[in-house]
Amino acid sequence: MLFLAGGLELSPIKPDVGLLLWTAIAFIVFWYMMSKFAFGPIKDALKKRDLDIKTALDKAEEAKAQIGDLEAEHKALVAKTQEERAAILKEANDTKNSIIEEAKAKAKSETDRLLTNAKLEIENQKKKAITEVKNQVGMMAIEIAEKVIKKDLANDANQKSFVNQLVDDIKLN
C-alpha cells in the first residue's frame, strides 16, 4: 500500500489531533454563526418573500374575480336600465295613445252631444215654429172666420173667392 510506504511520515489519512480539534471548533462556530446571522435570516426572508408573492397573487386573483363580478353586475344593471327605459317608453307611448284615443273619443262624444243638442234644438225650434205657425194659422183662421163672418155672407161667389184668397194666403205662409 502506497499509504503505508516506508518513509512516508505524513499523509492526509492520518487524522491530526490538532486538525480534528480545530475543524470541530471552526465548523461548530461556523454552523452557529451562519445559522444565526446568515442562513436563518435568509431563510426567513425567502419564506416571507414567497409568502408575500403568494398572497399578492391570491389577492390579484381575488381582485380579478371581483372585477368579473362587478362587470357582470354592471352588465346586468345596463340591461335592466335598458329594459326599464323600454318599459317607460312603451308606457309613455301607451299613455300618449290612450290620451289621444280618449281625447278623440271625448271630442267625438262632445261633437255628438253638440250635434244631438243642435238637432234637438233645431227640432225644438222647429216644433216651436210649427206650433207658432199652427197658432198663427189658428189665429188667422179665426181672424178669417171672424172676417168671413163679419163680411156678407150673401154672395156665395164672394164668399168662395174670399175663402180661396184666404187659403192662398195661408199657403204662402
Partner 1 sequence: MRKFLIINLLVILVACFQTSVMAQNHDHSGHNHSSHDGHSHAGHDHSSHAGHDHGSHAGHDHESHAGHDHAHDGHGAHHMVCGVESDHSFDIGATALHHIADANVFTIGPLHIPLPVILYSKDQGVNVFTTKKFHNATLAHHADGHIAHNGYVLHGGTIKRIDPTYKVNGQSFNSNADVDIKGYVWQPAPIYDKDGKDTGKTKETAFACDGKNLWKLENSSTADFGLFGGGFTSFIDFSLTKNVVSMLLICLLLFFVFRSVARAYAKREGKEPKGLQSLMEVFVVFIRDEVAIPFLGHKWEKYFGLLASIFFFIVGLNLFGQIPFFGNANVTGNLAVTAVIAIIAFIVTNINGNGHYWGHLLNPPGVPFFVKIILVPVELMGIFIKPITLMLRLFANIAAGHIVLVVFVGLIFVFGKEGTNIFGGYATGIGSVLLSLFMMAIELIVAFVQAFVFTLLTASYIGAATEEAHH
List contacts with partner 1 (CB under 8 A): 2-24, 26-31, 33-43, 45-46, 48-49, 52
The helix/strand/coil state of 121 is helix
Residue for cell digits 156678407? 152
* CA of residue 114 relative to chain centroid, distance: 41
Closest CA to 47 of 37, 39, 35: 39
CA distance 22 to 29: 10
User: How far apart are CB 55 and partner 1 at their closest, in Å?
Assistant: 11
Q: Pick between residue 51 and residue 87 the one whose CB is nearest to partner 1.
A: 51
User: How far apart are CB 3 and partner 1 at their closest, in Å?
Assistant: 6
Q: Pick between residue 39 and residue 135 the one whose CB is nearest to partner 1.
A: 39
| C-alpha cell belonging to residue 49 | 418573500
Q: Pick between residue 35 and residue 98 the one whose CB is nearest to partner 1.
A: 35
User: How far apart are CB 64 and partner 1 at their closest, in Å?
Assistant: 21
User: How far apart are CB 57 and partner 1 at their closest, in Å?
Assistant: 14
Closest CA to 173 of 125, 148, 137: 137
Q: Pick between residue 34 and residue 100 the one whose CB is nearest to partner 1.
A: 34
Phi-psi region of 7 (alpha: psi -120 to 50; beta: other; left: phi over 0): left
CA distance 115 to 96: 27
Q: Pick between residue 22 and residue 164 the one whose CB is nearest to partner 1.
A: 22
Per the CB < 8 A criterion, the answer to whether 130 and 119 are in contact is: no
User: How far apart are CB 1 and partner 1 at their closest, in Å?
Assistant: 9
